[in-house]
Chains A and B, each alone.
Chain A
């Protein structure tokens, strides 16, 4: 009985593989698009803020004012676009987008500092891109903090009592592309596998072959296994392609075990394929299936997985919703294995939740497909 079942699964999988081979365009999409998307997104989704356009209006022209201006221009974060000893038309500069940040050193700055009193600096930021503005503000605060430290040290002629020496691990250059690759893998695999499986089932409904299959002594589980296996294999190949591209283009290599990474990826993909099957029970045309599959896989994987936006900074409701997004768990595991070289055994909770998601989705798909049958 089990052997018969296996042979029926192999029959369905063989047929499905032939469909894929006869359709080179879809095959190219499944295998080529993920690698291409990694390159595109890797470059486009660059969160590193560098070369912020800076204008300086130094009305003081003292040693102290020159020193603070130099610390900004030499920091590497800012690029000096305009410098003026007189007052600048600040509003015009910002409106013309010539400067994102404007540092204004008021007259008497040097004297006040020398006198040991509290001196003020003004920093104007273009807040229309809040991300960049926040980063620029952080850089500026750090630079001013450094300057304060130096001044205090000189006055007291000894080192300040506490000094922070930050060191970043796992991604020491704070390159966002490193951070993005595991997330992109989760996101891209989700889309391609959900879309591919949903379409493969709905295509059979449209052609009327689904009815014929249902009349055959084929169990729903056998049909589902036979249909998903070829796509699981293809998606694993696509994962390998993503890793190769990420290494060649961004120099991101897997620090942990490949076996463990592929084991976690297989679990994640099985859930994704199950979701694709479930989507196929909701749609009657390929176009519908494509739209539902795209929306339901892409949006949560981008917005609610922690791929782009940290889950902790989401509204509480969204945080709860994110528990139902498998990419959330996969991301933790794949970031751990790829960036930190962690062992898969460190993530029992994430793996268990991924497994739970997979079981729930496959059950829903089986029930849905069965109900469609009657």
Chain B
């Protein structure tokens, strides 16, 4: 089967700045493909190229078999897009918003009416179709934005941090829509910062400084830790502890995670008693072994890449 998205050696430069640096990957139809990386890593630029908004500097990008550089309009007609700033007109009602977005995609008559009904149901706003959009709760607004982006039944959907600033319950409802889409064969391309969202993705791509660092399912990505483990250190003296741990040659990496430290070290010999022994008498601290988080994977991938 033809991949939904095919990216080969894609590079996008703005002047001398390389936003996307020779990135290649494929996304299969119906896949939920997660795109991870810090701000400025090149995620949004990649999405904008795939949506036909920016021409690639070099390399190839195809969506549903269409070359985005050659026929961006054909790509635009077949995809859906939604960003963190859910792009609804707040001074219009949900129905007016849906009519507008349906109209620009060429929906009319019975088809428009039927898709609008679907969108109202999906967003869960029955009974509030004629309220001004600005008066709707954030969660409903966000689902309405997703429904507007899906109105023309696209086969591929790009979601750029779609759940930023929304409560966890709404996020869960949002993701159940995404999973329904995926099981009906729609390809979902999503960027996120959240671990629970990454876990729902079939595969994940890690981007950093324009480069693709790692690609695979979450468990595959975690396998970079096969001979290492991650320890969480909770302490009052964060900075001093960080300095001490960093100076140890058997410690691979130390990073700050909120109010705790994550220490990455070789699994053998067991580093837990060594860390405890090191910090004993220095500062009261609690050390325990944790599963590598997305951030651990991410930081470790960056470190590994730097070494290579």
Contact = CB atoms under 8 A, between A and B. Distances in A.
Interface of A: 4, 7-8, 10-12, 14-15, 18-19, 22-23, 207-209, 211-218, 373-374
A89 B52 CA distance: 83
Contacts of B99: 11, 14
B91 A215 contact: no
B87 interface: yes
Contacts of B91: 18-19, 22-23
15 contacts: A11-B103, A11-B104, A15-B100, A22-B91, A23-B91, A207-B87, A211-B83, A213-B104, A215-B53, A216-B76, A216-B105, A217-B76, A217-B77, A217-B104, A374-B55
Given A14-B103, A207-B87, A215-B51, 12 more contacts: A8-B103, A8-B104, A11-B103, A14-B100, A18-B92, A207-B85, A207-B90, A208-B85, A209-B87, A212-B101, A214-B53, A218-B104
B83 A208 contact: yes
Interface of B: 51-55, 73, 76-77, 79, 81, 83, 85, 87-92, 96, 99-101, 103-106, 108, 132
B34 to A, nearest CB: 21
B106 A212 contact: no
A193 to B, nearest CB: 21
A1 B105 CA distance: 13
A9 to B, nearest CB: 10
A217 to B, nearest CB: 5
B81 A7 contact: no
Contacts of B101: 212, 216
B292 to A, nearest CB: 35
Contacts of B53: 214-215, 373-374
A4 B87 contact: no
B106 A19 contact: no
Contact of A8 (B51, B55, B83, B106): B106
> A-side binding surface: helix, strand, loop or mixed?
helix
A19 B92 contact: yes
B87 A212 contact: yes
A212 B103 contact: no
Contacts of A217: 73, 76-77, 104-106
Contacts of B106: 4, 7-8, 217
Nearest to A23: B91
A15 B89 contact: yes
Contacts of A15: 89, 92, 96, 100, 103
B81 A215 contact: yes
A212 B96 contact: no
Contact of B54 (A11, A18, A19, A374): A374
Contacts of B105: 216-217
Contacts of B89: 15, 19, 207, 209
Nearest to A10: B103
Contacts of A212: 81, 83, 87, 101
A200 B187 CA distance: 35
A22 B92 contact: yes
Nearest to B92: A18
Contacts of B132: 22
A374 B57 CA distance: 12
A7 B108 contact: yes
A4 B87 CA distance: 23
Contacts of A12: 100, 103-104
B103 A209 contact: no
A94 to B, nearest CB: 59
